[in-house]
Structure 1
Amino acid sequence: MTGSSDYVVVGAGLAGAATAWQLTSRGHQVTLVERTVPASPDGSSHGSARIFRYAYPDPFYARAVAESRALWDTLSSEGGHDLISAAGAVDHGLGRQPALLAEVLADAGIDHELLPAAVARERWPSIAFDSDVLWHPGAGVLDAETAVTTMVGLAVGKGARLLTGWELHHLEQRATGYRLTSTTGETLDAGNVIISAGGWLPHLLGRLALPAGFLRGLPQVTVMQEQAFHFRYRDTGSAGTWPTFIHKAATMQVYGLPGGRDADFAGQKVAEFNGGSLIPSAAEQTGRVDPANRDRVVGYVRQYLPGLDPEPYAETTCLFTNTPTEDFIIDRVGGLTVLSPCSGHGAKFAPLIGRWAADLVTGSADIPARFRPTLSAGHR
């Protein structure tokens, strides 16, 4: 027996770490379990470079980013680390709808400019723009791994227990709560359980003692093994001047950002959005880069990013855990909460997701109904 806890959080990625931080900040007894180590390299929360941006066509998310930013500032202050570095963001391509994004940001009171392509090319000659361009200077680069370790450290400092190398095998409901059993046979009792297992969630759903109706009400969760490539700046003096970007071209959507320490600060990280391969769960990831995806991204860099050397000097794979609508899942039945934020855009919301999850599991506040799909499906 490993022991017992009022709240057990399974998974020490961004969402799980944020939930543990929020719960311990409210004085609750928390155990955080992780199959390997926090911000595990084979999960979705490793590395130093994620885009922090406000531009969304959905006003709900644009406002939520502003709400999240205030929590990031609190976290940076409490943890003593600057977690978001300034870079700004440019959005372009007709499919990206820069004018619509500008309207949303205007309504949300977020600083931005809508620029003609020619003006944007003068400002950022290393990027070949093919439409009007939305620029918002408040965007930047989020250090995901340091964010995780900061939140875990703060949670532990407030009394949370961290168990690493503890992989959940199954969970059963008992008269007083839940019993979690690891793959090595250790057990842990809890009054409430929050499952934040990222790409391992599809593998676990059938082992969580969830009512059949609740399971039917959850949207399909799929896992993609994605690829990202790092390209050197042709002008080394331009490092520090590159913005983040999202470009919805005719045939693909591509995003890029300064690569951070993951690639020695020497270039831009560029990837095709949802350009990877579908896998059953994170347990089946191979870590192998798809040559066809590499060729597509290299071709994109040659055409649209003249300021980069078009041969990647580093590459990696990562995981996207997706829902059909790209909305998150923060849903609960009994004392069991399923927490699955990602769909390629969850990182920037991590402390807010932690607050939403803590509000839900403690019953202290309502959370956005769009994250509770089983309620709209009639399953509680």
Structure 2
Amino acid sequence: MGDPLPDPSDYVVVGAGLAGAATAWQLAARGHQVTLLERDVPAAHNASSHGSARIFRYAYPDPFYTQAVLDSKALWDSLAAEAGTELITPFGAVDYGPTRQPALLAGVLAGAGIGHELLSAAEARSRWPQIAFDTEVLWHPGAGVIDAETSVNAMVALAVRNGARVLTGWTVERVERLGRGTGAGYRLHSAAGETFDAGNVVISAGGWLPRLLDSLPLPAGFLAGLPEFTVRQEQAFHFRYRDGYPGATWPTFIHKAADIQAYGLPGGRDAGFAGQKVAEYNGGPLIPSAADQTGQVDPANRARVVDYVSRYLPGLDPEPYAETTCLFTNTPNEDFLIDRADNLTVVSPCSGHGAKFAPLIGQWAADLATGAAVVPDRFRSTASPALTT
């Protein structure tokens, strides 16, 4: 058990969530020898990429991210075609609230050539009477819902089809550099005493990243330049559709009210297609890392979301019929991290908005890990000052 496996890989990707699966797929499709190590199983339920419901949207106040969504959508379409399954279900999206700035978002979409409408609150209420809009509303019909678990499994399957191997139940405890020089390679050590050798390593560990960072052979200057990562145990609640407001009539939404930032989307198979998934953005407790999650819903958070549904979503029964927790790994300005020191690449598509970019993040990470291309500067050690959501 303690000896290295006899067949090391050119590239080892740690973590089979959306970002790690996408990176493994992109590397394998380019002909590289790839091994994907996962502490549990791909799209594990105690990580960030499980389930059937993540928002896909174009509306960002920063044109950089809107253009990145366009670039990502082209890759999503190619992925769905190659996998032979639908990965994004169209529902459209509404954005509203005193601090959501629908007019600003509309201007960004207009500049990118993305179809949208800017509606008054009354116009929006007549179209979606199940929602009590309190400001003007941005509607863009190209938005939808990503099936995260199916997407992860599709990318893993395509990586394997291109020669990658997947090892599950393999928890990376530390990474050791072998010798000196950029071509020296690495040895990964598991919690069970196993080892695995690789020429290049990509760490995409999600909420486990903060605890793992100190166990990586990264230069002190590189570590000092990284943003601070915080992990939240978020909670989401499913509320049944009232009669007359079936799931097909509901858009996804982001609402920045005066006292809460909430989002919602059709819950899909996660809760029997019976209701809308609603959550408070960054409303869960801070935890040191994913290893410290309890899986317990905070009663105060539940009460805030129930109160929100009672006030703003008359088309839902305000009593949740299902609830869950998930992980948000955040940076201070909500930009991602895709950075590299020697042959070790760290990937963290953070802050609750990374799912829609998964194929593009895989492309960026593969470009950086192989030296094929650069990634946007904002994802390296110097971060952008502007919030993105």
> TM-score, normalised on structure 1?
0.98
Instruction: Give the corresponding residue for 1:182.
Output: 190
Instruction: Give the corresponding residue for 2:279.
Output: 271
Counterpart residue identity of residue 33, structure 2 = Q
Q: For each residue in 1:208-238, what CA deviation from the matched residue of structure 2 results, as whole angstroms up to 9, or x when unmatched?
A: 0111110000000110000000000002662
1:302 aligns with 2:306: no
Counterpart residue identity of residue 281, structure 2 = F
Equivalent residues of 1:105, 1:112 under 8 A apart: yes
Q: Secondary structure at the match of 1:310?
A: strand
Aligned partner of 1:33 among 34, 37, 40: 37
1:339 aligns with 2:347: yes
Instruction: Give the corresponding residue for 2:55.
Output: 51
Could you tell me how far apart the structure 1 residues matched to 2:22 and 2:14 are? 12
Instruction: Give the corresponding residue for 1:162.
Output: 166
Instruction: Give the corresponding residue for 2:21.
Output: 17
Q: For each residue in 1:228-266, what CA deviation from the matched residue of structure 2 results, as whole angstroms up to 9, or x when unmatched?
A: 000000026622110000000001100000000000000
Following superposition, the deviation at residue 342 of structure 1 comes to 2.2
Q: How many residues align?
A: 376
Could you tell me how far apart the structure 2 residues matched to 1:341 and 1:128 are? 32
Report matched runs for 1:153-302 at 5 Å: 153-175=157-179, 176-235=184-243, 238-302=246-310
Q: 1:306 to 1:367 in 2, by over 3 A?
A: same
Instruction: Give the corresponding residue for 2:359.
Output: 351
Q: Secondary structure at the match of 2:318?
A: coil
Equivalent residues of 1:16, 1:196 under 8 A apart: yes
Counterpart residue identity of residue 19, structure 1 = T
Give the unaligned 5+ runs of structure 2: 385-389
Counterpart residue identity of residue 351, structure 1 = P
Q: Secondary structure at the match of 1:96?
A: coil
Could you tell me how far apart the structure 2 residues matched to 1:270 and 1:57 are? 22
Could you tell me how far apart the structure 1 residues matched to 2:362 and 2:349 are? 10
Equivalent residues of 1:49, 1:142 under 8 A apart: yes
Q: For each residue in 1:9-33, what CA deviation from the matched residue of structure 2 results, as whole angstroms up to 9, or x when unmatched?
A: 0000000000000001111110000
1:369 aligns with 2:373: no
Instruction: Give the corresponding residue for 1:83.
Output: 87
Instruction: Give the corresponding residue for 1:105.
Output: 109
Counterpart residue identity of residue 253, structure 2 = F
Aligned partner of 1:96 among 95, 100, 117: 100
Instruction: Give the corresponding residue for 1:128.
Output: 132
Computed over aligned residues only, the root mean square deviation of the Cα atoms, in angstroms, reads 1.0
Instruction: Give the corresponding residue for 1:64.
Output: 68
Could you tell me how far apart the structure 2 residues matched to 1:375 and 1:363 are? 21
Counterpart residue identity of residue 139, structure 1 = A
Q: Which runs of 4+ in 1 moved over 4 A?
A: none
Percent of residue pairs bearing the same amino acid type: 74
Q: Secondary structure at the match of 1:42?
A: coil
Could you tell me how far apart the structure 2 residues matched to 1:320 and 1:110 are? 28
Equivalent residues of 2:83, 2:158 under 8 A apart: yes
Following superposition, the deviation at residue 94 of structure 1 comes to 1.6
Could you tell me how far apart the structure 1 residues matched to 2:277 and 2:129 are? 18
Following superposition, the deviation at residue 63 of structure 1 comes to 0.6
Q: Secondary structure at the match of 1:331?
A: strand
Could you tell me how far apart the structure 2 residues matched to 1:214 and 1:86 are? 41
Could you tell me how far apart the structure 2 residues matched to 1:136 and 1:221 are? 32
Counterpart residue identity of residue 319, structure 2 = E
Counterpart residue identity of residue 213, structure 1 = G
Could you tell me how far apart the structure 2 residues matched to 1:172 and 1:49 are? 37
Could you tell me how far apart the structure 1 residues matched to 2:261 and 2:38 are? 33
Q: Secondary structure at the match of 2:264?
A: strand
Could you tell me how far apart the structure 2 residues matched to 1:310 and 1:237 are? 14
Q: For each residue in 1:301-329, what CA deviation from the matched residue of structure 2 results, as whole angstroms up to 9, or x when unmatched?
A: 00000000000000000000000010000
Q: 1:237 to 1:274 in 2, by over 3 A?
A: closer
Equivalent residues of 2:11, 2:33 under 8 A apart: yes
> TM-score, normalised on structure 2?
0.95
Moved more, 125-134 or 1-10: 1-10
Q: For each residue in 1:135-192, what CA deviation from the matched residue of structure 2 results, as whole angstroms up to 9, or x when unmatched?
A: 0000000000000000000001110010000000101111321000101111111110
Q: Secondary structure at the match of 1:57?
A: coil
Q: 1:115 to 1:374 in 2, by over 3 A?
A: closer
